[in-house]
Amino acid sequence: MPIATVNPANGETLKTYEAMDEEELERRIRLAEATFLTYRTTAFADRARLLNRAADLLDEDRAEIARVMTTEMGKPVRQARAEAAKCAKAMRWYAEHAPELLADERPAESDVKDSGASHALVRYRPLGPVLAVMPWNFPLWQVVRFAAPALMAGNVGLLKHASNVPQTALYLEDLFHRAGFTEGCFQTLLIGSGAVDEILRDERIKAATLTGSEPAGRAVASTAGEMVKKTVLELGGSDPFVVMPSADVDRAAEVAVTARVQNNGQSCIAAKRFIVHSDVYDRFTERFTEGMKALKVGDPLKEETQVGPLASEQGRADLEELVDDARRGGATVLCGGERPDGPGWYYPPTVLAGLGREMRIHREEAFGPVATLYRAADLDEAVLIANDSPFGLSSNVWTREAAEVDRFVRDLEAGGVYVNGMTASHPAFPFGGVKRSGYGRELSGHGIREFCNITTVWHGA
């Protein structure tokens, strides 16, 4: 895949880039290693000052970088501006909270004495250069939610971004440099995916994080396992959105539309499978389908647009295959389901009902504005349908019954359970999944400690 900006609204190639050669890659890895030796000793206050400056610059650049993101991957420009603002917020959050999240831990005095020590503590120390392999769908946020905690922990980062968002990738490197970080603290590697394996095998790279597809995650995990290196993987998702009879059905249907089509439906944590109790199924289906039909699809640079094009021609083709397979298997298309005429990689908001387990879309992630509807007779069946997926990233539950909430929290196989709302990431809460959605956590204290050497310090009596 070429490293290029291709506008998904019209298919026009705007900029192309040559991949870095081996000499330049070596220079950058060597620089990262050397920079880490000094950056790791900097004070939290100095790191926070730099990260806060990066947040201020990002706020100033918000409109400009939003247009770049929209032009590169097609998200509505209003959502792009919100993504930039969210990144600045996360930077400030880690700048403020990193010292407490990474503070020395003191074991109970009784345990210290029992170990034969005069005193002991647990200290979090940085690992070194971390390779980040990031996707195109949230081209700023996915990177910042790794970079902000990694830099505050004293690590340095090397970014291999998706090949279709090179301008955003280069902007991120420039942003941190303008903020005052030493050049080797954060570097963008303009390389193809085929170069990742060799870089990960380099002894100077201490760990890796990847957000992306399951095949990409398997490849990185395999190499990292062979090299005995720490990894964090955030892979696909096919999140359930469960609606029970006690729920505010109209509100659930309204939120469900946003939950399905955010970022043009290209979000791992977008709700994709809508599991509705029989008692409220017809009402929810009517409201939800009406909401999906009413969405404004069009030029993502226009303020009124709610759904833009998919990021790539292949992505649209993959989505069409899933819908066509379901249709052939007997699913009912309640709205959408047909590629529109004209330029660009658009696909309409689509709702499918009457799904069967043999259909591909039941097992595979639909990365675009396509929703699947399931009818559940009771809570037990709702849980069974929700867990009948190879993925386990997040989940959404709508009910006013406390006992039902407890049951869903206990039994849903997911890294998050969002009650009477849609899944959203926030720097204070851990983010990640189970099953084929990956392992490890980003964000919160759990995220910043993923790439730390958790060190026991013991002093004899």
Q: What angle do CA 205, 207, 211 make, to 5 degrees?
A: 120
**Rounded to whole angstroms, what are the CA distances from 375 to 9, 259, 285, 372?**
36, 19, 10, 10
Angle of helix 77-101 versus helix 141-152 axis, rounded to 10: 20
Distance of alpha carbon 212 from alpha carbon 214, whole angstroms: 7
Angle between helices 249-261 and 278-293 (to 10 degrees): 50
* CA pair distance 173, 181, nearest whole angstrom: 10
DSSP run (H or E) holding 269: none
Question: Exposed (0-12), middle (13-18) or buried (19+): which is 81, by Cβ within 10 Å?
Answer: middle
Long-range contacts of 412-418 (CB under 8 A, 24+ apart): 412/240, 412/383, 412/386, 412/387, 413/386, 413/387, 414/239, 414/240, 415/441, 418/394
Q: What is the DSSP string of 17-61?
A: EPPP-HHHHHHHHHHHHHHHHHHTTS-HHHHHHHHHHHHHHHHHH
Residues near 307 by beta carbon (within 8 Å), at least 6 away in sequence? 76, 261, 264, 265, 295, 296, 297, 298, 349, 369
One-letter amino acid at 112 equals: V
Residues labelled as active-site residues = 234, 268
As a residue count, the chain comes to: 461
Tokens of 445: 């204290």
E strand or H helix at 292, and its extent?
helix 278-293
CA 241-245-248 angle, to 5 degrees, is: 75
- Among 237, 359, 238, 368, smallest CA distance to 292 is for 368
Residues in a beta bridge with 332: 353
- Identify which of 267, 307, 294, 210 has the alpha carbon closest to the alpha carbon of residue 394: 267
What single string gives the DSSP state of each residue in 328-395? HTT-EEEE--SPPSSSS-----EEEES--TTSHHHHS---SSEEEEEEESSHHHHHHHHH-SSEES--
